[in-house]
């Protein structure tokens, strides 16, 4: 399936962030071919009915993060050495997820040990089933 | 991302200097713009700047002074105090050649009712050397107007379409649209959005528009200003606005309960209480805010982003404090909250 981006207004995720997230997700899922250009800023903006500057900034962010690269005259492509998120962004995201997880677990009445145990169990389970290359060791 | 923070955000009453330090020049600048109607203040000390090439949303509730401001910008109304510049010229002395570079669509869509759609176009085109008939036809087509229909017989949405066609055809450098989506059906609204995005093909063209349709604002605007009861409350990139308004969810376990009376919190916009929970919408929260929140005795404090509409309604609602100002028309990374 090719890259399809759909945006939602009224969400607590900004349109800019939705584009960044969806391009990342599409790359992780292997839905973007290396030799195929992404839609141009103008065409994506007109398709989604949003300000082209927003698309431009999202693409710009993805280029800065090393996820996309701009090939002059040809368009925007998936970068060969792909680093999906910057270290700071990865830290921010895991912190957010962990805070939400832990506070919910506490609300449900689990003890600290039980939470750690659940997390460890899931980690082992997912790590063994996944053939994905690890994404954690890279330093920038 | 640079660590720029307070540096570029100082609010200058001398105005934003154009072209300096790679900053974009401003197509609209106001300085302490104020207007009274009798004893009533309609606009109070408005100082803002609209960068060239932006799609700038001018927001606020009905009666907050948006139309009055727009009329002063165009020189249709004298300010009681203060001044404004449009395309570098004083609003009170806009020469016809400057006016020709500004496209203005009023709320009321003033049209010659006895002329047909086509005649309206022909008549208007005489005033503009740069009239682009292709654009006129395209917008008329977009709104599915019959060129032979009389302007006086058009529906509200159709009038808006004709009005927009007339406004866009001269390819103005600056578009000022006063609540263009008012009364439009969903199809006409979509056409309006498409037309606005089409305008941004010219990188140097600016759209300054007022609207109540936050979904549309979220889609097309990259800058915003918020007027609340005649006072400017925010003027910054939309992204800055969003990143500054956060929701804090405080969860209470067991017998613990939120404090019945909250201490004064800088930037507090909205409070919602429910069983075992306290939800606070706060603008410009910093470490001090977070520290203070942690002292409220909650089992957990979760910080989340809020939707654009919630953030804006928080700003315009009646709760919360009024004494801060969010500004930044220079860069997306920089931000500042003024108290």
Cβ–Cβ below 8 Å for A51 and B221: yes
Fold (CATH) for A15-78: Arc Repressor Mutant, subunit A (1.10.10)
**Cβ contact B197–A16 (<8 Å):** no
* Per-residue pLDDT at A97: 87
Which band of pLDDT confidence, cut at 50, 70 and 90, is reported for residue A2?
low
- pLDDT: is A47 or B267 the higher one? A47
Average pLDDT over residues B179-183: 89
Contact criterion met (CB below 8 Å) for B200 and A52: yes
What's the whole-number average pLDDT of chain A? 83
With contact defined as beta carbons under 8 Å apart, do B75 and B93 qualify? yes
pLDDT tops 90 at residue B20: no
Interface of B with A in 93-112 (CB under 8 A): none
**pLDDT range class, residue B184, cuts 50, 70, 90:** confident
Query: Given a cut of 80, is residue B290 above it in pLDDT?
Result: yes
Q: How far apart are CA B48 and CA A39, in angstroms?
A: 35
- HSE, CB side, 13 Å, CA atoms: give it for residue A6: 1
In terms of C-beta density within 10 A (0-12 exposed, 13-18 middle, 19 or more buried), how is residue B281 classed? buried
Quickly state the pLDDT bin for B208 (edges 50, 70, 90). very high
Percent of the residues in chain B that have a pLDDT greater than 90, as a whole number: 47
| Mean pLDDT (whole number) for B99-113 | 88
Q: Do A107 and B251 touch (CB under 8 A)?
A: yes
Q: Above 70 in pLDDT, residue B334? A: no
* Residue from B209, B126, B212, B222 nearest B169 by CA: B126
Longest dimension (CA), chain B: 76
Determine which of A5, A6, A9, A57 to mutate to test the interface with B (most B C-beta atoms within 10 Å): A9
Considering only the beta carbons, identify the residue of B215, B302, B310 that sits closest to A100.
B302
End-to-end CA separation in angstroms for chain B: 26
pLDDT confidence tier of residue B255, bands split at 50, 70 and 90? confident
Contacts of B304 in chain A (CB under 8 A): 12
Alpha carbons B92 and B90: distance in angstroms, whole number: 5
pLDDT over threshold 90, residue B322: no
Q: Is B274 on the interface with A (CB under 8 A)?
A: no
Question: Could you tell me the residue ranges of all domains in chain B?
Answer: 7-235, 242-338
Query: What are the φ/ψ torsions at residue A121 (nearest 5 degrees)?
Result: -60, -50
**Both structure tokens of B129:** 């050397």
| Cβ atoms B81, B222 nearer than 8 A | no
Q: What is the pLDDT of residue B327?
A: 63
Q: Is A51 on the interface with B (CB under 8 A)?
A: yes
Contact B207, A2 (CB under 8 A): no
What does the block give as tokens for B335?
């931000």
| Residue with more model confidence, B321 or A52 | A52
Lowest mean pLDDT of A59-63, B44-48, B164-168, B293-297, name the range.
Answer: B293-297
Between A136 and B159, name the one with better pLDDT: B159
Does any CB of chain B come closer than 8 Å to the CB of residue A18?
A: no
B221 touches chain A (CB under 8 A): yes
Q: In this complex, do A49 and B300 lie within 8 Å of one another by their Cβ atoms?
A: no
Strand order in the sheet with B268-274: B268-274, B277-283, B245-251, B300-305
CA distance A29 to A32: 8
Structure tokens, A61: 């962010």
B222 and A51: CB-CB below 8 Å?
A: yes
What's the pLDDT tens digit per position in B124-148?
Answer: 999 888 899 999 999 999 889 999 9
Q: Which residues of A touch B300 (CB under 8 A)?
A: 99, 102-103, 106-107
pLDDT digits (tens, 9 = 90+) for A62-99: 999 888 999 988 899 988 765 666 778 788 888 888 98
pLDDT at B321 over 50: no
Give A24→chain B minimum CA distance, Å.
Answer: 19
Q: Is the pLDDT of residue A139 over 60?
A: no
Task: Give the helix/strand (H/E) hosting B91.
Answer: none
Query: In this predicted structure, what is the pLDDT of residue B182?
Result: 87
Q: List chain A domain ranges.
A: 15-78, 87-129
pLDDT above 70 for B16: no
Q: Identify from A5, A49, A108 which residue to disrupt to test chain B contact, counting B C-beta atoms within 10 A and taking the largest count.
A: A49
Span A127-132, average pLDDT: 57
Q: Using CA atoms, how far apart are residues A108 and A96, in angstroms rounded to an integer?
A: 18
Mean pLDDT value across residues B28-57: 95
pLDDT at B245 over 70: yes
For chain A, the residue count is 140
Q: For residue B127, what pLDDT is reported? A: 87
Q: Which pLDDT score, from 0 to 100, does residue B22 have?
A: 45
CB-CB under 8 Å, A106 with B299: yes
Residue A135 scores a pLDDT above 90: no
The pLDDT confidence band at residue B271, using thresholds 50, 70 and 90, is confident
- 3-class secondary-structure state, position B96: helix
Mutual orientation of helices B133-142 and B156-168 as an angle, nearest 10°?
Answer: 160
Residue B256 contacts A where some CB pair is shorter than 8 Å? no
For residue B58, pLDDT beyond 60 = yes
pLDDT of B17 over the 90 cut: no
What is the percentage of chain B residues whose pLDDT exceeds 70?
86
Helix, strand, coil fractions of chain B, as percent rounded to 5: 30, 30, 40
Q: How far apart are CA A121 and CA A115, in angstroms?
A: 10
Q: Does B55 contact A at CB distance below 8 Å? A: yes
Q: pTM for this one?
A: 0.79
Cα gap B170→B259, rounded to integer Å: 60
Q: What's the ipTM? A: 0.76
CA distance B222 to B57: 8
pLDDT tens by residue, B213-243: 999 999 999 999 999 888 898 899 998 898 8
Report pLDDT for B1: 37
CATH 1.10.10.60 fits B7-235, yes or no: no
A10 closest CB neighbour out of B200, B215, B239: B215
pLDDT at A129 (0 to 100): 58
> Helix (H) and strand (E) counts for chain B?
10, 16
Calpha distance A57→A74 (Å, rounded):
19
End-to-end CA distance of chain A: 31
């Amino acid at each position: 399936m090719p890259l399809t981006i759909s945006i939602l207004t009224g969400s607590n995720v900004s349109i800019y962030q939705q584009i960044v997230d969806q391009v990342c997700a599409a790359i992780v899922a292997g839905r973007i071919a290396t030799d195929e250009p992404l839609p141009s800023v103008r065409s994506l903006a007109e398709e989604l009915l949003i300000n082209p500057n927003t698309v431009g900034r999202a693409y710009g962010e993805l280029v800065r993060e090393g996820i996309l690269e701009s090939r002059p005259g040809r368009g925007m492509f998936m970068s060969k050495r792909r680093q999906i998120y910057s270290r700071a962004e990865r830290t921010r995201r895991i912190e957010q997820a962990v805070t939400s997880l832990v506070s919910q677990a506490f609300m449900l009445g689990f003890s600290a040990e039980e939470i750690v145990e659940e997390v460890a169990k899931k980690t082992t389970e997912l790590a063994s089933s996944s053939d994905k290359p690890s994404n954690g060791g890279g330093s920038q | 991302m640079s660590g720029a923070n307070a540096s570029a955000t100082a609010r200058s009453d001398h105005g934003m200097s154009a072209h300096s330090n790679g900053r974009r020049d401003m197509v609209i600048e106001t300085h302490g713009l104020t207007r009274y109607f009798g004893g009533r203040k309609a606009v109070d000390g408005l100082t803002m700047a609209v960068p060239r090439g932006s799609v700038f949303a001018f927001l606020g509730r009905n009666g907050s002074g948006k139309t009055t401001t727009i009329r002063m910008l165009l020189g249709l109304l004298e300010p009681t105090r203060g001044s404004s510049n449009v395309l570098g010229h004083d609003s009170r002395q806009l020469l016809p050649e400057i006016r020709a570079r500004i496209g203005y669509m009023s709320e009321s869509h003033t049209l010659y009712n006895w002329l047909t759609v086509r005649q309206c176009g022909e008549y208007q085109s005489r005033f503009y050397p740069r009239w682009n008939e292709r654009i006129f036809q395209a917008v008329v087509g977009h709104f599915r107007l019959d060129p032979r229909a009389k302007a006086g017989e058009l529906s509200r949405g159709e009038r808006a379409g004709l009005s927009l066609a007339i406004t866009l055809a001269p390819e103005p450098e600056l578009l000022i649209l006063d609540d263009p989506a008012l009364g439009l059906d969903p199809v006409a609204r979509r056409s309006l959005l498409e037309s606005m995005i089409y305008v941004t093909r010219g990188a140097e063209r600016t759209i300054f528009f007022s609207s109540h349709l936050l979904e549309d604002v979220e889609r097309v605007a990259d800058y915003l200003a918020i007027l609340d009861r005649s006072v400017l409350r925010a003027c910054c990139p939309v992204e800055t606005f969003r990143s500054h308004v956060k929701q804090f969810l405080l969860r209470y376990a067991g017998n613990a309960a939120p404090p019945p009376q909250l201490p004064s919190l800088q930037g507090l916009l909205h409070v919602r209480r429910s069983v075992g929970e306290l939800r606070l919408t706060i603008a410009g929260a910093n470490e001090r805010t977070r520290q203070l929140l942690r002292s409220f005795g909650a089992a957990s404090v979760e910080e989340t982003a809020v939707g654009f509409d919630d953030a804006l309604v928080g700003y315009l609602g009646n709760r919360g404090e009024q004494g801060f100002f969010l500004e930044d028309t220079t860069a997306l990374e920089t931000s500042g909250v003024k108290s």
